[in-house]
Structure 1
């Protein structure tokens, strides 16, 4: 992949008999709102709430369907502070804090507090 791909749940979905949102996905949207240049550099793909999430499974394999997940471009350097995972030959980050650390390393934005 030439670009990082960010997998998110949609901003509002039906679950538990009500409309809900994913707090970690919202956290990443907050970071992207602070730093629009990051958003423009990503390919963003929304995934359904139900498992398996086909887009993630296609890239990372069965059982890898957490959202948010950032699948890193082939030449991406995440820096030492980012906990990266690997599956099906792809490297990825599957939590909001590590994504924010990755963005800080790659784009020079501030690091999240406590990182």
Structure 2
């Protein structure tokens, strides 16, 4: 089965002297909880808060380390009308809203409001 790779920060981490969470990663976890079949299409990898985030940079190159990021498998379909970034020979989406729009275009989930 073709699986894309979704990079997320963990649900809670230490930063700035306190426990924090990433709102964009939480947004993606919300989408995954509403549409759990999406998880079967993904390899979910947690990365740390510190830069560089090695697993992301290993696929996309130095300086690319945003989380959440969805890196498409080379054989994965792309949604029409979406502007996929390209690096390291891979297509990727570096934000929660773009990832949710991809899920809608490719997997048939609802489109995020405002898009």
**Same-fold status (TM-score > 0.5):** yes
Offset of residue 14 of structure 1: 0.4
Query: Match of 2:109?
Result: 109
Q: Distance in 1 between matches of 2:81 and 2:70?
A: 15
1:41-88: CA deviation from partner (whole Å, max 9, x where unpaired)? 100000011011110011001000000000011122222332210001
Runs of 4+ in 1 over 4 A off after TM superposition: none
Query: Match of 1:21?
Result: 21
TM-score, with normalisation over the residues of structure 2? 0.95
Unaligned runs of 5+ in 1: none
Unaligned runs of 5+ in 2: none
Alignment RMSD: 1.3
Offset of residue 40 of structure 1: 1.9
